[in-house]
Structure 1
């Protein structure tokens, strides 16, 4: 019988587990709010279920596309151009909670910045592959790459969504480090980061308030520290085994964004350390499988693309969990695959589809005969 390679099943089932677990927890965390606002406790759950079904179709479709096609300029340039147009257009839309992040189609909101991250990672992977060993040539290689990534980061930051912009820049920084970028450029970037922090964080009141709340959330628990203190109460209330699925008290309008950015807190409250550990282990497995796929990639484009996608998912999970546990200032970064919302879920499903194709192509290249 001829050898028939397949995609990484462990990665596939890990992503599926996170998405299904997320659906269960979204229902639990959003049921009270859904009943209050829409008269149906399953309202947000059914929306998320529809998003998950669409995401599964997208993941399956992308999984069937040879990942090398994404480096074709006839594919990559239109993808990047579309993201630029959408990122510019979203700035003309009405602000929601002070931010221009969503394009609305009826009751559905779509975030172009989510898909721009994937487009930028594909571009960076192509660039590092195309100019392998030349990244330390500042004016001809590093500067054009930096300007391109910086352009997208600025478009995302002015929405404003500084957290996503910084997350993107951090992923690219790691890829540049892996590509062999000289330490002097990292030191230069660190020096530039100091005045940037002053102007974009210290001089912006609501961002500085978040820093202050992070330093001591209990100094103003009814004001700037409310979200962090309620998150800590939720996690602390769960103990080892939790209060029980559906038994969260913090979702009763105490914890803001209980079904989205702070879903991990509800998991801790209802399922305790056992539930949160399960989530952390699942993300660790995803990270390790992603790195394994990257290391076995048949070319450098595949290596950088797989590593970038893996870092994107892992870094967002790390930031979200750290934020919930008050290890980082609060920021609107979703828990991958799990938080309520369609754009983030679709991005992660699409990105996983690319990883699954990479794993398939790796096995195909290694197949006997």
Structure 2
């Protein structure tokens, strides 16, 4: 005699595993350490991808210049090794530490930016935003000003959050500080970096709760920057080149974008293969820098470009999680500023490559070659990772997982050396 089968309403054998899977995903998503692992994972993958693509895209130009094909790659790897300890240290500092260093950091950033008016200044392609600190060592102070301004805005706007409905409390002291930093960048004729600062400030003000009417002023300021850019024939040509036709002149305006689009088009779905780009053979200017996304599309195809977009999307999602989950206003505002800087800059760079945005000279964060940009971005991401570690329950969860790992290593090590004080070998089995 068989027992009667009992079927619960709405639950069959096929729905139970799916429900369990959904519950598992939900529990992982709601975990206190999700933001931390998303930030660390996406940052690491973008950094590795960047090093690989810098090697691939720069080797031909390096050989043509009579240098080692690994020259640019080794420089970029060196910058990454310099940025890594800064990133780790930044990820260990609590929010209170950033409150204490916010004002000194901004002062140092402004001082470094002022050095562009001294004999230390170095001009590149019409921009005067680099300084020389010794033979072969130049830095771009504006990149580190982004980090300092993001933290400073977080501290100042958080303290005045209840008063931000009044434009006077928004303007003082944020207005003069932002004006000085962005003004110095504009004096150096670096429009692209100035626009990134606008995104950074807009993100901070929005999350701080500044009324939308004040954003009208920011929009007017942005329009002013564009007007200044259009005041010179070269920059006006760059802006209007996106509406123009093709050009075969390598010195012509719009040539870079044309070659970038050809690189993306020739890559197809899966790409021509890593290292097999044709555009990097001195056809595409700045292949390892501002237009490295085009080389990614050519060598790794649509899949490679979607991977880059996915990784930046993961960074953005992680930062939104931190903004929503962290209780401290300073953390929320600083994270928003850094997020709008990094994600916004990535979208602008990609927009330039695909011809939607004029060529304004901003690199792809973590991917393009460039020491100051890479180190500053890693430092900023380290700050956000520290905020992810400071989410409610995150430190305890990370400490518990670290303890489990240490115990597991101890158990494995003890079993290995248990037999006569020597490691086990195949002869012992």
The TM-score, its normalising length taken from structure 1, stands at 0.92
TM alignment of 1:213-252, pairs within 5 A: 213-218=241-246, 222=250, 223-252=252-281
Q: Which residue is 2:351 aligned to?
A: 322
Q: Which moved more, 1:292-301 or 1:217-226?
A: 217-226
Cα distance in 1, alignment partners of residues 225 and 74 from structure 2:
42
Q: Give the greater-gyration-radius structure (CA).
A: 2
Cα distance in 2, alignment partners of residues 298 and 156 from structure 1:
34
Q: Which residue is 1:254 aligned to?
A: 283
Q: Which runs of 5+ in 2 are unaligned?
A: 1-31, 398-429
Query: What is the CA-CA distance between 1:192 and the residue it aligns to?
Result: 5.3
Q: Which runs of 5+ in 1 are unaligned?
A: none
Cα distance in 2, alignment partners of residues 258 and 96 from structure 1:
17
Query: What is the CA-CA distance between 1:191 and the residue it aligns to?
Result: 4.4
8 Å CA contact 1:124, 1:145 repeated in 2: yes
Q: Which residue is 2:368 aligned to?
A: 339
The TM-score, its normalising length taken from structure 2, stands at 0.80
Match of residue 313, structure 1, among 337, 342, 357: 342
8 Å CA contact 2:273, 2:300 repeated in 1: yes
Cα distance in 1, alignment partners of residues 362 and 178 from structure 2:
20
CA deviations 1:207-252 (Å, max 9, x no partner) are 1010121122426765111111111111111011111111111111
CA deviations 1:104-123 (Å, max 9, x no partner) are 23223211100101111111
Q: Which residue is 1:82 aligned to?
A: 108
Cα distance in 2, alignment partners of residues 219 and 43 from structure 1:
31
Give 4+ residue runs of structure 1 displaced > 3 Å after superposition: 4-7, 188-197, 219-222, 363-368
The structure-2 alpha-carbon separation of the partners of 1:55 and 1:195, relative to structure 1 and needing over 3 Å to count, comes to closer
1:152 aligns with 2:199: no
8 Å CA contact 1:6, 1:363 repeated in 2: no
Q: Which residue is 2:211 aligned to?
A: 182
8 Å CA contact 1:260, 1:339 repeated in 2: yes
Cα distance in 2, alignment partners of residues 152 and 297 from structure 1:
28
Helix, strand or coil: the match of 1:41? coil
CA deviations 1:251-270 (Å, max 9, x no partner) are 11111110011000000011
Cα distance in 1, alignment partners of residues 158 and 166 from structure 2:
15
Cα distance in 1, alignment partners of residues 393 and 288 from structure 2:
40
The structure-2 alpha-carbon separation of the partners of 1:192 and 1:220, relative to structure 1 and needing over 3 Å to count, comes to farther
1:39 aligns with 2:67: yes
Query: What is the CA-CA distance between 1:38 and the residue it aligns to?
Result: 4.0
